[in-house]
Amino acid sequence: MCGRFALATEKNILDMLFNIELRTDFNVEPRFNIAPSQTVPILRISPEDGNREMAELKWGLVPFWAEDPKLGNRMINARAETVMEKPAFRDAFKKRRALVPASGFYEWKKEEGGKQPYFIGRKDKLPFSMAGLWERWEKKGVLMESFTIITTEANNLLSDLHNRMPVILPQECYDLWLNPLAGPEKLLPLLKPYSSEELTVYPVSRLVNSPANDNPGLVEPLQST
């Protein structure tokens, strides 16, 4: 699964990653402990003009048909294997796909003394994009836009930590993933484990367990004693 991640990179790096120029007033603050229900920047096709845009949406997808927006608390991830079938995700998979930028994500492993958090990122330390879906929910004058992160089976590097991992899309697949005309025969093959050779994983401080903690030290390797 993916229940916590970090996004700490410069605005110009995101410009190059997505081949866009972010608005000058769009501020991307470094964040090291992003948790569900928080507002997060994602890249999508604008529903207004059809262009790429970076927008800030709530993590935890609320289906447009939901009576209670609290349903989004259970929709932080969507399984790649069933994303076309589940009522909460199938319409968004067809029409509202997104890229969720990250500099790394966290996973926990049960060890002696409790669950130990690990940080997973690219070996070259560059940011990457996770496959996401977004939705617009509106009832009684309240408008909410939210998103979920698609997960797939873990690769060999991460399988000892968890049996799932977020779908990380290669940069050359961004255009296809965002293309509103792309069909499932082209999209589903993208939802696969990312190469183990390009990732690194190491233990970090258990301070990351609390979303109240958000500082650069959270992504630093845990010093052995």
Degrees to nearest 5, angle at CA 36 with 32 and 41: 65
CA–CA distance, 192 with 165 (Å, rounded to integer):
10
Catalytic residue among 53, 107, 135, 145: 107
Alpha carbon distance 161, 159 (integer Å) = 5
Which of 2, 53, 135, 145 is an active site residue? 2
Phi and psi based region of residue 24 (left: phi greater than 0; alpha: psi -120 to 50; beta: remaining): alpha
Q: Is 107 labeled as catalytic in the residue annotation?
A: yes
169 in Cβ contact with 99 (< 8 Å): yes
CA distance 16 to 9: 12
Q: Whose CA is closest to 76, among 148, 5, 23, 25? A: 148
Catalytic positions? 2, 107
